[in-house]
Amino acid sequence: MRTFYAVRHAKAGSRSEWTGDDRKRPLNKKGLEQAEKLVSLLARYPIAAIYSSGYLRCVQTVRPLARSRKLEVKVSPSLEEGHGLEGLTEFLGDRSLDDVVLSTHGDIIDELVEDLVAREVIEPGEGGIDKGATWLLEADEHGMAVRARYIPAP
């Protein structure tokens, strides 16, 4: 089994109030606090690599964790909004990866939870898609999440 930590980006400023490029919309004060708390939330877990959507709010969410682990944040378009579950499963299917953090968006986490429920990995209503929350996933040799545990947002 290989382990992945799918993190929904922390709280960002309102999409409707942001007038610039949405890719550059930053975390708000609460989101920056959540990003800092992610360090202690994941402190007991081994982390070998950190990948993120290129959107600023996703990178900002895992930057303190990367700094604390002396890792770089590797940007991947596969984790960006609109790439769906396929973007996430690219990572789960890569047998060279283990103990990897994946910072992504709500639409992808929502699809992940729907898939986990449909495949009866989790029960309906178990966990959620809150901003800043993490799904700890264990993937089999075929890249399928066969176990999942919700870690609430800090």
Segment 80-98, tens digit of pLDDT: 999 989 999 999 999 999 9
Mean pLDDT of the chain: 94
Question: Is the pLDDT reported for residue 14 higher than 80?
Answer: no
- Give the Cα separation of 7 and 52 in Å (integer): 9
* pLDDT for res 117: 96
For the segment 16-29, what is each residue's pLDDT rounded down to a tens digit?
Answer: 676 777 778 899 99
For the segment 120-140, what is each residue's pLDDT rounded down to a tens digit?
Answer: 999 998 888 999 999 999 999
Mean pLDDT score, 135-154 = 94
* pLDDT for res 19: 73
Query: 143: which 2 tokens?
Result: 């890249």
Question: Is the pLDDT reported for residue 145 higher than 90?
Answer: yes
Mean pLDDT score, 10-39 = 86
- Give the Cα separation of 2 and 140 in Å (integer): 7
Superfamily name with CATH number, domain 2-151: Phosphoglycerate mutase-like (3.40.50.1240)
* pLDDT for res 18: 63
- Give the Cα separation of 136 and 149 in Å (integer): 5
Mean pLDDT score, 87-112 = 95
- Give the Cα separation of 53 and 57 in Å (integer): 9
Query: 138: which 2 tokens?
Result: 């264990």
For the segment 52-82, what is each residue's pLDDT rounded down to a tens digit?
Answer: 999 999 999 999 999 999 999 999 999 999 9
pTM: 0.95
